[in-house]
Amino acid sequence: MWFDVYLGLWAFVVGACVGSFAHVLVMRMPADISLWKRSMSPCCHRQLAWYENIPLLSFLFLRGRCRYCDAKISWRYPIFELIFGCLFTYMMSVHGLGLPFFSYAIFTTLLIVIGYIDFQFYIMPLSLLVIIILSGLLFHAFNGSLQDSFFGVILGFLVLFIVLVVFTFVLRKTGRLQKHEYAMGIGDPLMLSGIGAFLGFQAIPIVIFISAFLGVVFGFIFLIRPHTEKEIPKYAIPYGPFLACAAIVFLLYKPFFMAFILRGI
């Protein structure tokens, strides 16, 4: 029992540290800032001491303010660290300390980083998309289920690529898009391909259904709320965050969804 408690605490600490690094990725990659630079204050850009980089604790110790300029530190920092800590703890309780835990830890980290960057900046770093696909294939190669992963990669890409081609054609014909515009970016098919690499081809229909449902709900809320002309033109909504949420939901409730799939077969 105590061993399980220690493992849970270890997973939470590791998750919080990974969450801190994930926040560095979402802030630096879109701005093309080197990941090797030492951490600095987001407000006055002064280098931080080691004790100012302790996940969660540093934010509490500093009372949410920069030690140098007294500016407020965004709540995004502790929220990222807390979310990752809880996710890693849950995955440790389900999978134990082994290959599935580490692989799904990598998977959820990449999902959240890619989804957040897409939500904030409307881009998906190609390097992260390639990593999520290759790491999923590598995990299943060691796990003895490479076939499911490979078909997941192919099916995930083809489904959204067909949607991209068809919707782009229709929207251009109806005048909703210009000739140089597309219904979605190529990053969305690649992201679903990476999700298929980790979760297998069986997960693709459910992930699409959940992500589409979340997208419709969010889109409805976005359209009815007050907005300005400076906001996103033509009410474009990034699909990556909903794919990430749907994949995480499937992962957390995988036994339920797999039983549902098998019962349908």
Which pair of tokens denotes residue 96?
A: 């134990």
pTM of the model: 0.88
Which pair of tokens denotes residue 14?
A: 């590791």
User: What are φ and ψ of residue 47, in 5° steps?
Assistant: -65, 140
pLDDT in tens, the chain (265 residues): 656 788 989 999 999 999 999 998 998 898 887 777 777 766 666 776 766 778 888 888 877 777 767 678 788 888 999 999 999 999 999 888 888 999 999 999 999 999 999 999 999 999 999 999 999 999 999 887 899 999 999 999 999 999 999 989 998 888 778 888 888 889 999 999 999 999 999 999 999 999 999 988 887 777 776 655 555 445 578 899 999 999 999 998 887 887 776 665 5
Distances (CA, A) of 36 to 21, 75, 110: 11, 24, 19
Closest CA to 209 of 192, 223, 224: 192
